[in-house]
Amino acid sequence: MAPFAKALFWCVCTLAVYLAARRLHRACGRWWSSPLLVTWTACGLLIVLLRASYHEYLAGTHWLVWLLGPATIAFAIPIHRHRAMIRQHWLLLSVGVVVGSLLAIATSWAFASFFELSPELRASLLPRSITTPLAMDASRLLGGVPELTAVFTALTGLFGAAVGETLLHVLPVRSYFARGALFGMGAHGAGVAKATELGQEEGVIASLIMIFSGQFTILLVALTTLL
C-alpha cells in the first residue's frame, strides 16, 4: 500500500473504533468499556496483528495528538463557568491541589527510586496524576518520554475511577468536596466523569481540582527546570 493509503487507513480505523467504543460505553457504562481503553487496546492489537509500525500508524493519526494543545486551552471555559465556586472555596481548592500534587510527585519519586528506574522513566512517571495533555507537557519539560507518560496517566485514570467508590466506603470521607477532590486529583478525566455520577457538585470540584493541579504541576516543573 502507498504511504498515503496506509495513513488514511489508520486514521479512519482509529475514528471508527473510537465512535463504536463511545456507543458501547453509553450502552453498558462499565469501567472496562471506557472508549479510551477500548480504542487503545483495539488499535494496538490491530497494529501488532497487521505487523504495522508505530511510525506508519502515527502518520495517519498525528493530527489528533496535535489537537491536545487547543484542547488544553479549552480548559479555560470550565474555569470561567465555575468562577463563583472558585471564589467561594479558593482556600480549600488550593489545599487540595497543593497537597495532592506534591503527594503525587513524592510517591512517584519514592517508588521510582525504590525500583531503581532510569531518570527518563522517573521523569515520565512524576506527572501521571494530572490530566494527560498537561502531563505530557510536564514530562517533556522534565526530560521524560511524553508517550510513556500518556500510558501511565491513562492507567492512573482508569484504575482511579474503577476503585474510587470502594475507597470512599473505606475512608471517613463524607463531604462532597473531599469526594470530588479524591476523584479529580486521583483519576483526572476519568475521575471527573465518575464524580459527576455521584453528584453535580462532586463533578465540579473534581474538574476544578484536575485543571488546577495540572497547572500547579506544570508551574512547579517549569520552575525546577529554571533552577
Partner 1 sequence: MDLGPQIKSVPLSLGRPTRQLLQTGALIGFWWLIQSLVNALHLPLPGSMVGLVLLWVMLDRGVLPLHWLEHGADGLLKHLMLFFVPAMLALVDHPEMLSLLGVKLFVTVLACTLIVMAGTACVVELGFRLCHGSVR
Q: Which of residues 55-94 bind partner 1 (CB under 8 A)?
A: 57-58, 61-62, 64-65, 67-81, 83, 91-92
Q: Which of 12, 16, 50, 155 binds partner 1 (CB under 8 A)?
A: 155
Euclidean distance between CA atoms 110 and 39, whole angstroms: 32
Instruction: Say whether residue 134 binds partner 1 (CB under 8 A).
Output: yes
Nearest by Cα to 6 from 54, 63, 68: 54
Q: Which of residues 97-126 bind partner 1 (CB under 8 A)?
A: 99-100, 103-104, 107-108, 111-112, 115, 117, 121, 125
Q: Which three cell numbers stand for residue 94?
A: 488550593
CA angle 8, 13, 14 (to 5 degrees): 105
Euclidean distance between CA atoms 140 and 138, whole angstroms: 5
Q: Which of 1, 48, 49, 84 binds partner 1 (CB under 8 A)?
A: 48
Instruction: Say whether residue 195 binds partner 1 (CB under 8 A).
Output: no
Instruction: Say whether residue 24 binds partner 1 (CB under 8 A).
Output: no
Q: Which residue has the cell 468562577?
A: 83
Size of the site for partner 1 (CB under 8 A): 99
Query: What does the DSSP assignment read for 80-105?
Result: HHTHHHHHHHHHHHHHHHHHHHHHHH
CB of 14 to partner 1, least distance (A): 7
Instruction: Say whether residue 204 binds partner 1 (CB under 8 A).
Output: no
Q: Which of 12, 32, 175, 200 binds partner 1 (CB under 8 A)?
A: 175
Backbone angles phi, psi at 51, to 5 degrees: 55, 40
